[in-house]
Structure 1
Amino acid sequence: MIFRSPLALRRGGATAAQPAARRASGRAAPRRPAAIVAERASLGVGADALQIAPIINGCWQLAGGHGREVFEGVQDKLAAHARAGLTTFDTADIYGPSESILGEFQEAWTAQGNPPVQILTKYVPNIFQQRVTPAAVEAAVRRSLAALRTERLDLVQLHWWDYKIPGMVDAALALADLQSKGLIRGVGATNIDVPALQKLVDAGVPVVSNQVQFSLLDRRPLNGMLQYAQSKGIKLLAYGPVGGGLLSDKFVEEPKKGLLGGVKFSNVDLNTSSLKMYYGVVKRFGGQELWRRLLVTLRAVADKHSASVAAVALAWVMAQGGGGVVHPIVGVRGTQHIQDNAQALALALDAGDLAAIGAVLAEAAGPDGDIYSFERAG
C-alpha cells in the first residue's frame, strides 16, 4: 500500500473513527454472499508456508480518511468476506485501529468454531525520527501481536521510507530473527524496488512476498520486479488493482463533444484518500481521455464474459506472470466487491480480450520506472 508521511499518519483521523467502529457492532448482518471456491496460494515453501486466499482483503480504509461509512458494521463486513472464502486480510501497524479491529474479529470468528483467518501486517518504522534497532523491531512486533490478539504473526511486511537512510537490511534481518523465535511466520516486503529487494535476498532474508501497486493503470512491476520475484519464488501482493474504484463500471462513460471542440467527461468526485491517490496515477497513465477509453474497452470485455469491469481488471492482474504469482488486494470498504472477486476468479481472459486491452495500454505514457518511485520523490 502507498503510505503518507509518518507525521501525517500520526495526525490521521483514526482515533475519531474508533467509536464508529464500536457503535457498528450491533447492526444487522448483511446478506451472505455465496462462498467462493478457489485454490489457495502459498507464501513460502514447506510445511510452514502460509496458505492464503488468491484475492486478499485490504484494510487500508480502516486507517481513516475514506469516509465514516467504512466503519459502519465493520465486523459484519469482515465476516461476510471470510464466509465467502476470502479469508486473508492485509493491514499495517500504521493503519489506525485496523489491527485492533482485525484482532477483535479474529477472536470472535474463531470463538464461533471457524478456522483462523490469515492476517498480513506491516512494520513501517518512522526512520526519520527513530533508530531502528533489533529491540525496536521486536517492540513493534509485540505491539502488533497484542493488537491482533495472537501469539504469532502470519506475515510481517517491511516498508522503508528512504533508501538513503541506512538500516533496511538490518531491520529485515531482525524480523527474520523473530521468525526463528516463533513470533513471525513469514517475512515480506512492501514498496521495495528490485535493487533493494535483491539486497534483502542476498543478505539471507527469507522474503516470501513484496507488496506493490499493480494494475492496468500502473504496470511498473513489469519493468523487472515481476521477473525478479518469479526467479526467487517471491509472490507479489498487488494493491490498487482496480485503482481505488477508478477501474469499475461506475466510471464507464462514452466521450461527449465539448463546446469548443475536443471531448469532455463528467467530473470525478475525488472524495476519498484512495481516489485522490489513484487519480494521480491516472494522470501519469495518460490522462482522463485514455483512462475512459480503457474503461470502455474493459466494459466490452466484461459484457462478453457477463462480468463487471472490476472483475476484468482483477483477472488481468492475476494473469500476469502466467498466473499464481500476483495476488490482488481489494479493499473491504463494503461487501459489494465480493461478487467482483468471485467473477474475477472464474474469469479467463482470451487472446482477443488481451489484444483489445493491450491496444489501449500501448498508448499509455506511464507511470515510468520501477515500483514506488515518483511517490518517494513526493
Structure 2
Amino acid sequence: MASPSDPATHETFQLGEFTVPRLWAGLWQLSSNAWGTAPVTKIRQAMARHVDAGYTAFADHYGSAELIFGQFRASLPQPEAVIGATKWCVFKPLTGPLQRSAVEAAVRERIERMQTKRVDLLQFHWQHYDNHDYMTALEIMAQLREEGLIANVGLCNFDALRTDEICTRFPGLVVSNQVPFSLIDTRVLSALDGVCTKHGVKLLTYGTLCGGFLAEKWIGVPEPDPYAGSLNPSQRKYLDMITKAWGSWALFQELLVALQRISRRHGGVSVTNIATRWVLDHPVVGAVIVGVRWGCSEYPSDNMKVYGLHLTDQDREEIESVLSRSAGRRLFQTIGDCGAEYR
C-alpha cells in the first residue's frame, strides 16, 4: 500500500468547479464546549496541521466555526487552495412568503463571516417540507450563483423524494447532499443513492465514525452509561442509534472485532480506516467529513491511511455477516429517510 503521506495517493473528486479531497475536516465540534475547549491559537494550529496533511476542505458553520475558519484561511499564503463549505439552515416556520432579500442576506452573512468573496459551497437545510418555499429559496440561490455570490449549491439532510424534486426542477444546480452514512446507518442505500446517482449529486457523509465509537478503543468495553457525563453529544446520539435502533452493544462488539481482524490483515491501518473505506467505496459518496475536536484531539495522519486501502471480497463478506444480523437495513422504515430524525 502506498504511503498515505504521499500527495499522489490522495483521492479527489469533482465538486462543481472544485477538485476536492475525499476526506474533509468537520467544524461542528466548535459549536459547544461539550466537546472540549482550546484557545483559538491552538485551534488554528490544528487546522494548519490538517491542511499540511492534505485536508483542503472544511465544513460546517455552527457556533464560531465560520469565524475561526475564515480567519485561519485568510492567513494562509494561498487561501484559495482551501475550500470552505458552510450552511444556511431554515429551522423555524416562515411567517410569510420567502423574499429574495432574506436569502441574499443569509448568503452575504456567510461571506462576511468567512472573509471571502463568495461561498464555496452553500449547503441548504429546510426543516418543514410542508412549506414548499424551499423551491423558491433554491431558485434564488441559482440567481445568486449566477451573480457570483455562491460557487456551488448543496443540500443538507434532504431526503430522496425532495432531492429528486429539486434536481428535476433545477437540473445541474445541486452538487451535493450532506447526510449521515456509516456501517450503522445505511439509510442512504434505500433510496437516496439512486436519486443522487441519477442527478449526478455526490454525498458528503457525516456520522461515518459514529462519534468515534468505530474505533479500537471501544473493543471489549462495557456499554457506556449515556448519562454518566463521560460521553460527548455525538457519542450520546450514536450510542442511542447503536443500541436502540440498529441492534445491541453486544452485536456492535462483534462488528468492532470483525473490523479489527480485517485491519490487521491489511497491516498498519485501524478499525476507523476500515469503517471509513467501506463508506467511501460506495460510488455515490464524494467525501467523508471527519469531525475534529480542534485543539483537543485529532488524528489527521491516521485518517489519511484510508487512501490507497482496498477492501477485499472477504473483508466485505465478513462485515456483511454482522450487518445482516442487525436492524440496519430496516432503519429506513423505523426512523425514516435521511434527516427524518431532525424533523
Q: TM-score, normalised by structure 1?
A: 0.81
Name the residue aligned to 2:13.
Answer: 41
Letter in 2 for 1:120: A
Q: Aligned with 1:159: secondary structure?
A: strand
Cα deviation code 1:252-309 (max 9, x no counterpart): 127xxxxxxxxx6565665211111111221211021111111111111111112111
**Aligned-partner Cα distance in 2 for 1:71–1:297:** 39
Task: Kindly report which structure 2 residues correspond to 1:10-49, keeping only aligned pairs within 5 A, or say none.
Answer: 34=5, 36=7, 37-44=9-16, 49=17
Task: Kindly report which structure 2 residues correspond to 1:244-263, keeping only aligned pairs within 5 A, or say none.
Answer: 244-253=211-220
Cα deviation code 1:111-159 (max 9, x no counterpart): x356530001111023325553211110000000000000011110110
Name the residue aligned to 1:300.
Answer: 261
**Aligned-partner Cα distance in 2 for 1:136–1:315:** 40
Name the residue aligned to 2:83.
Answer: 118
Letter in 2 for 1:181: E
Does the 8 A contact of 2:11 with 2:307 survive in 1? no
Name the residue aligned to 1:98.
Answer: 65
Cα deviation code 1:178-230 (max 9, x no counterpart): 00100000011010001111111122151100010000010000001112111
Name the residue aligned to 1:338.
Answer: 300
Does 2:111 correspond to 1:145? Answer: yes
Name the residue aligned to 1:155.
Answer: 121
**Aligned-partner Cα distance in 2 for 1:302–1:280:** 26
Count residues with an aligned counterpart: 326
Q: Which has the higher contact order (CA 8 A, sep 6+)?
A: 2
Letter in 2 for 1:55: L
**Aligned-partner Cα distance in 1 for 2:165–2:27:** 29
Gaps spanning 5+ residues in structure 1: where?
1-32, 255-263
Letter in 1 for 2:26: G
Q: TM-score, normalised by structure 2?
A: 0.89
Give 1:172 shift. 1.3
**Aligned-partner Cα distance in 2 for 1:147–1:66:** 23
Name the residue aligned to 2:50.
Answer: 81
Q: Aligned with 1:151: secondary structure?
A: coil
**Aligned-partner Cα distance in 2 for 1:76–1:57:** 14
Letter in 1 for 2:332: D
Name the residue aligned to 1:286.
Answer: 247
Give 1:176 shift. 1.1
Letter in 2 for 1:357: I
After TM superposition, the structure 1 stretch with the greater mean CA deviation from structure 2, 360-369 or 231-240, is 360-369
Q: Percent identity?
A: 31
Name the residue aligned to 2:332.
Answer: 368
Gaps spanning 5+ residues in structure 2: where?
none
Q: Aligned with 1:371: secondary structure?
A: coil
Distance 1:373 1:145, change over 3 A: closer
